[in-house]
Amino acid sequence: MKPLWILIPLLATGCGASSKEAARMTEAAIAHAPPAERQNLLMQEHRIDVAETNVASARTGLDEGKQFSEISNGEALAAEAKLDTARKGASLGQQARNANIREAAESNEEIAKRQVVAARAMQGYADGLVKLRQARLDQANAELKLARAERDAAKIAITTKSKSTKESKEAQSHSAKAADELPDPRLRVQQLEGQATALRDVWLEKRHARQTASRAEPVVDVPPQPSRTPAPDPQ
């Protein structure tokens, strides 16, 4: 972890104070703060580091989810094209006198239908996955916002030594607002996780039926969700 005085933003102490003076006053206040307060501030900085890591991971997960969605759209278009070709072949096969040719054409059409159903199910799951991963990114950003707000409140509490100052009240207000905003994205993630799981189950069922009909078909795997680091509880 970087030195605390580098991580902490400068605190303005008055219109006439220069940035260097404000920095020295901030460093001095922190240096003379009780160990418990300095330890709490270090913990707040660590929570920000964790939250920033989770934001980056969630953004990667969203990007990969979007790529999976693009693949699913391509699969659907290809399946539709194959079904159109198979239907034309079945139409010609019905005119053939050879029973084997007719059966082969009908079998190809049935396989193509299953491929379309599987591809559409894949599209549905991909859409749900993108929504879920966007919600996870929103949650990670909300957690980062709260971590920064709580860090700022802890910093101001050390430098002002009073909870009644304007700066302290504003910091506490921002922290409380960030905490109030966090439950909504967390709840949305929980809701979308259930929906995405149901869509995934449908897709896997349809994909299995497609593979049973034609084992030569390639299988597209879902990009894994990047790991998420739990933030330490504030002291």
Q: What is the pLDDT at residue 148? A: 95
Terminal Cα distance for the chain, rounded: 18
Domain-by-domain residue ranges, the chain?
A: 37-213
Report residue 97's pLDDT band, with 50, 70 and 90 as the boundaries: low
CA angle (108, 114, 117) in 5-degree steps: 145
Report residue 98's pLDDT band, with 50, 70 and 90 as the boundaries: confident
Centroid of chain to Cα 154: 28
Alpha carbon distance 92, 184 (integer Å): 57
Alpha carbon distance 183, 168 (integer Å): 24
Share above pLDDT 70 across residues of the chain, in percent, rounded to a whole number: 77
Selection from 151, 129, 111, 124 nearest residue 61 by Cα? 129
Indicate yes or no: pTM above 0.95: no
Task: Decide: 165 and 126 in contact? Cβ < 8 Å.
Answer: no
Tokens at 37, concatenated: 């307060």
Per-residue pLDDT tens over the stretch 32-74: 778 888 888 889 999 999 999 999 999 999 999 999 999 999 9
37-213: what CATH class? mainly alpha
pLDDT at 92 over 80: no
Tell me the one-letter amino acid at 44: Q
Higher-confidence residue of 28 and 74: namely: 74
Instruction: Match 């149901």 to its residue by tokens.
Output: 198
Per-residue pLDDT tens over the stretch 183-201: 999 999 999 999 999 999 9
Higher-confidence residue of 100 and 19: namely: 100
Mean pLDDT across 167-185 = 92
Higher-confidence residue of 15 and 225: namely: 225
For the chain, give the mean pLDDT. 82
Mean pLDDT across 69-81 = 94
Eight-class DSSP state of 18: -
Report residue 5's pLDDT band, with 50, 70 and 90 as the boundaries: very low
Q: What is the pLDDT at residue 22? A: 54
Q: What is the three-class DSSP state of 203?
A: helix
